[in-house]
C-alpha cells in the first residue's frame, strides 16, 4: 500500500517537484499526503499543491534558502495517508543531486561578417560559475548539415554541434553567408558545485540567415547553359554579318565575263533580226 517510485527534482533552486505512484495494494481513493523537513525548520511542512494524472501523484512546494551556496542539508520526505491501512514511506534526499536549472531565456543572435554571436540570459538563482551551457546549432539545409563540437574554443567537426562554455555568450566563426542556422541553448550544473546529472530543457529554437530555395538552384542550373547557348548563337550570327560588312565577297571574274559576253550576244542577235 506504500507509495512507490518516489522521484524529486529541485527546479532552479526555487521549488521542488516530487512524483510517486500508489502502492500496488492501495485502494483507488487513497489520499496520499507529502510532508517535508530540513535542518532549519522547526516543524515539518505539508505539501498542499498536489495533483493526480493517470495514476501519478505530483506535489510542488517552494524550496529556497536565504544563502545561495552549493552545500545544503538533506531533505526528509514523508508520504502517508490518514488511514492506518496505508504504510508510510520515508526518504532522505540530497538536494544537490536533484538540481535542474531553468531553461535559458532571451536567446539572441547577431551576425557580424562571417561570425554569428549567440547570447542568452543567465540564471540569477545559482552561485557564480556553477553553471555551464551547451549551444547546439545546425545548418538549415539538412542535406549539408554539420555539427561542430566546441569545448573552450576547441573545434571538432561532427554530425551535430555542441558548444560548451562558461559565459552566457559564444561566437560561431566561418559560417556560410548564404545559409540559415538554427540555435538552441541549455544549462547544466557544474560537477564541482552540484552532484546533479540533470540539465535544463532546451530553449526555443532561434534562427538567423536565409536558406537558398532549391527551386532557385534548379532554375539557375537550367538558365545558365540556356543563356550561354543563346548568347553563342547570337554572337555567331552577329560576327558573320560583321564579316560581310567589313570584308565583302570579291566577285568572280569569270562570272563577270560571262555576263558581259552574254549581253553582247543578245544585242547582236537583236540587230540581225532588225
pLDDT given for residue 118 in this prediction: 87
For the whole model, what pTM was predicted? 0.66
Residue 175 pairs in a beta bridge with: none
My answer on whether 197 and 123 are in the same domain is yes
Kindly state the average pLDDT of the residues 202-226: 71
| Helix, strand, coil percentages for the chain (3-state, nearest 5) | 20, 35, 45
147 with 96, same domain: the answer is no
Average pLDDT (188-195) is 89
Please state, as a whole number, how many other Cβ atoms lie within 10 Å of the Cβ of residue 62: 10
Q: Which domain holds residue 224?
A: 215-255
Name the E strands within 94-178: 99-100, 108-112, 115-119, 131-139, 147-151, 154-158, 162-165, 169-172
What's the CATH code of the domain at 96? 2.60.40.10
Which carries the bigger pLDDT value, residue 94 or residue 239?
A: 94
Give residue 92's pLDDT.
92
Question: Once rounded to an integer, what is the mean pLDDT over residues 34-52?
Answer: 89
Pair (124, 160) in one structural domain: yes
pLDDT value at residue 253: 66
End position of a domain, from candidates 100, 130, 157: 100
Of 100, 132, 153, the last residue of a domain is 100
Window from 63-72, 118-127, 150-159 with minimum mean pLDDT = 150-159
Q: Are residues 191 and 234 in the same domain?
A: no
Rounded to 5°, the CA angle 50-123-133 comes to 110
By the 8 A CB rule, do 85 and 71 touch? no
Distance CA 84, CA 149 (A): 56
Does residue 40 come out as left (phi exceeding 0), alpha (psi in the -120 to 50 range) or beta? left
When divided into structural domains, the chain yields a total of 3
* More confident: 168 or 248: 168
Q: Please provide the size of the chain in residues.
A: 274
Q: For position 154, what pLDDT does the model report?
A: 36
How much is the pLDDT for 122? 82
Residue percentage of the chain with pLDDT more than 90: 19
Band of pLDDT at residue 178, cut at 50, 70 and 90: confident
Top pLDDT among 147 and 194 is at: 194
User: Given this model, what pLDDT does residue 148 score?
Assistant: 41
Beta-carbon contacts of 151 under 8 Å, excluding residues fewer than 6 positions away, are 163, 164
Per-residue pLDDT of 8-35, as tens digits, reads 999 999 999 999 988 888 887 788 889 9
Predicted pLDDT of residue 218: 56
The answer on 119 and 93 residing in a single domain is no
Q: Is 261 helix (H, G, I), strand (E, B) or coil?
A: helix
pLDDT band at 146 (very low <50, low <70, confident <90, very high): very low
Mean pLDDT estimate for the chain: 77
Determine the average pLDDT of the residues in 77-103: 88
Are the C-beta atoms of 133 and 188 separated by less than 8 Å? yes
- 219 within a domain of the structure (yes/no): yes
- Give pLDDT, residue 237: 72
Query: What average pLDDT does range 244-254 have in this prediction?
Result: 65
- Whether residue 190 is found in the same domain as residue 153: yes
Whose CA is closest to 99, among 200, 225, 26, 1?
Answer: 200
Cα–chain center distance at 257: 87
Predicted pLDDT of residue 8? 93
Give the per-residue pLDDT at 158.
45
> 34 near 59, Cβ under 8 Å?
yes
CA nearest to 196, candidates 122, 100, 73, 75: 100
- Contact call for residues 114 and 173 (beta carbons, < 8 A): yes
Ranked by mean pLDDT, the top range of 47-56, 164-173, 235-244 is 47-56
| Residue pLDDT, tens place only, 102-132 | 998 888 888 888 888 888 888 888 888 888 8
**For residue 152, is pLDDT > 50?**
no
Amino acid at each position: 500500500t506504500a507509495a512507490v517510485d518516489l522521484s524529486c527534482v529541485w527546479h532552479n533552486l526555487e521549488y521542488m517537484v516530487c512524483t510517486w505512484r500508489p502502492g500496488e495494494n492501495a485502494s483507488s481513493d487513497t489520499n496520499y499526503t507529502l510532508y517535508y523537513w530540513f535542518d532549519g525548520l522547526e516543524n515539518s511542512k505539508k505539501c498542499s499543491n498536489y495533483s493526480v494524472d493517470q495514476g501519478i501523484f505530483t506535489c510542488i512546494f517552494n524550496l529556497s534558502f536565504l544563502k545561495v551556496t552549493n552545500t545544503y542539508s538533506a531533505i526528509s520526505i514523508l508520504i502517508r495517508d490518514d488511514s492506518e491501512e496505508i504504510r508510510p514511506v520515508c526518504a532522505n534526499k540530497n538536494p544537490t543531486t536533484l538540481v535542474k536549472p531553468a531553461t535559458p531565456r532571451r536567446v539572441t543572435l547577431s551576425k557580424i561578417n562571417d561570425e554569428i554571436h549567440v547570447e542568452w540570459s543567465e540564471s540569477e538563482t545559482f552561485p557564480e560559475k556553477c553553471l555551464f551551457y551547451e549551444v547546439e546549432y545546425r545548418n538549415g539545409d539538412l542535406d549539408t548539415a554539420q555539427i561542430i563540437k566546441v569545448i573552450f574554443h576547441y573545434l571538432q567537426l561532427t554530425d551535430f554541434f555542441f558548444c560548451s562554455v562558461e559565459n552566457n555568450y559564444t561566437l560561431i566563426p566561418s559560417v556560410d553567408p548564404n545559409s540559415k542556422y538554427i540555435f538552441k541553448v541549455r544549462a547544466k550544473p557544474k560537477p564541482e558545485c552540484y552532484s546533479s546529472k540533470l540539465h535544463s530543457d532546451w530553449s526555443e529554437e532561434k534562427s538567423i540567415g536565409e536558406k537558398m530555395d532549391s527551386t532557385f538552384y534548379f532554375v539557375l542550373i537550367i538558365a545558365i547553359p540556356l543563356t550561354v547557348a543563346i548568347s553563342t548563337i547570337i554572337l555567331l550570327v552577329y560576327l558573320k554579318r560583321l564579316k560581310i560588312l567589313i570584308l565583302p565577297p570579291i566577285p568572280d571574274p569569270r562570272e563577270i565575263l560571262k555576263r558581259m559576253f552574254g549581253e553582247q550576244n543578245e544585242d547582236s542577235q537583236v540587230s540581225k533580226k532588225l
